[in-house]
Amino acid sequence: MDQDYHDLLIKQQYRLYNDHAAVKLCHWMKESMLRGRCCYKQDFYGIQSHRCLQMTPSINECSHRCTFCWRVQDRDFEVRDWAEPKEMLDALIEHQRKLVSGFKGDPRCDLERFEEARNPNQVAISLAGEPITYPYLSEFLRECHRRNMTTFMVTNGTYPERLAELDTLPMQLYVTVAAPNPEVYREVCRPKIPDGWERLMRTLEMLPSLETRTVIRHTLVKGVNFGWIDDYARLDRIADPDLVEPKGYVFVGGSRMRLSMSCMPSFDEIKDFSSRLGDKIGMEIIKERADSRVVMLGHPGVETDVRKVYGMPEE
């Protein structure tokens, strides 16, 4: 990692370990700490926003340059010395503890909540970059599970061979499907590889065989990839996920240089899209959050609390 990129990430409140791993407090963790407002994932899946470690093991690389992505793009680099899973997790938790330390003196922050935040029990492997490129991902997931931490991971679906090689999977695996067809895919995901769509299709075909909970995430950008419900439904039927999350694009980070606020669908538009998509794939709206412009589609009666799904003790 060159020094200018390092300094930019630090300025943006990332904290780095061994150059390739990073952690950052998200908006909803801060809201949870100070105002008792939680992330939609707490409403949907039972994880606690103030105990969530938002991280990446591989900030260094991604095969996409998505127009809607918030990360700094065109700064990818090769890693020569990958951190071991346990030391990486320990280091990122310590970084998180330092990042939350300032909340202790704020009268709006409950001290019990502050102490809980110092000991995360949920790992969101989704911060930036493509996490599946980390060579010790299975070992990292096992270390998280050994510590009774739930794990969510987001992948762009262009690494089917890496996914097939994992002998430990995250408790919830998200695959982002941000395009209904190859033409829109090239426009919105701007792949750096020539066969990205074909790789994504292989990942979707693999999903039904994976022994973990799977979620298809449709990140929807108005005027770009919004619509094409029949095409999205066809892809969802191939993947046969447990849940589908249509989510509206948010005008944040680096995406502001490529898109405009008018590209953000309204919640009503997201909900209408979700209802029509659900009709085509045999799912219904299970949960929704207007402030995050997101809807969960699932089969009636599906259990959504991740700790209950895996029979984990409440904390």
| Cα 172 to Cα 73: distance, rounded to the nearest angstrom | 26
User: Are residue 5 and residue 140 in the same domain, yes or no?
Assistant: yes
Quick check: 270 and 296 in contact, CB under 8 A?
A: no
User: Are residue 263 and residue 194 in the same domain, yes or no?
Assistant: yes
Amino acid code (one letter) for 187: E
| Cα 80 to Cα 66: distance, rounded to the nearest angstrom | 26
Tokens 């943006």 map to which residue? 12
- Taken in order 81, 72, 140, 147, is the CA torsion positive or negative? positive
- Over residues 148-199, the pLDDT tens digits come to 999 999 999 999 999 999 999 999 999 999 999 999 999 999 999 999 999 9
DSSP 235-277: HHHHH--SEEEEEE----GGGGGT--GGGS--HHHHHHHHHHH
User: What is the structure's pLDDT at 259?
Assistant: 79
Domain count, the chain: 2
Of the candidates 93, 98, 94, 89, the residue with the CA atom closest to the CA atom of residue 134: 89
User: Are residue 137 and residue 194 in the same domain, yes or no?
Assistant: no
Q: Which domain holds residue 135?
A: 1-69+82-155
| Cα 154 to Cα 130: distance, rounded to the nearest angstrom | 8
Which residues are within 8 A (CB) of 113 and not within 5 positions of it... i.e. 6 or more apart? 32, 33, 50
28: phi then psi, degrees, rounded to nearest 5: -75, -25
User: Are residue 190 and residue 267 in the same domain, yes or no?
Assistant: yes
| Cα 120 to Cα 89: distance, rounded to the nearest angstrom | 11
CB atoms closer than 10 angstroms to residue 183:
10
- Over residues 75-100, the pLDDT tens digits come to 888 899 999 999 999 999 999 999 99
- 60 vs 204, residue with greater confidence: 204
User: What is the structure's pLDDT at 148?
Assistant: 95
User: Are residue 114 and residue 15 in the same domain, yes or no?
Assistant: yes
User: Are residue 91 and residue 124 in the same domain, yes or no?
Assistant: yes
* pLDDT above 70: percentage of residues in the chain: 100
Compute the C-alpha angle 6/7/9, nearest 5°.
65
Domain assignment present for residue 27? The answer is yes
Classified as helix, coil or strand, 284 is strand
Domain assignment present for residue 11? The answer is yes
| Residue 315 scores a pLDDT above 70 | no
- Over residues 35-80, the pLDDT tens digits come to 989 999 999 999 999 999 999 999 988 999 999 887 777 788 889 9
Amino acid code (one letter) for 182: P
Strands 294-298 and 243-248: antiparallel
- Over residues 248-260, the pLDDT tens digits come to 988 877 778 887 8
User: What is the structure's pLDDT at 121?
Assistant: 95
CA 44 from centroid of its chain's CA atoms: 14
Question: pTM, whole model, 2 decimals?
Answer: 0.94
User: Are residue 109 and residue 140 in the same domain, yes or no?
Assistant: yes
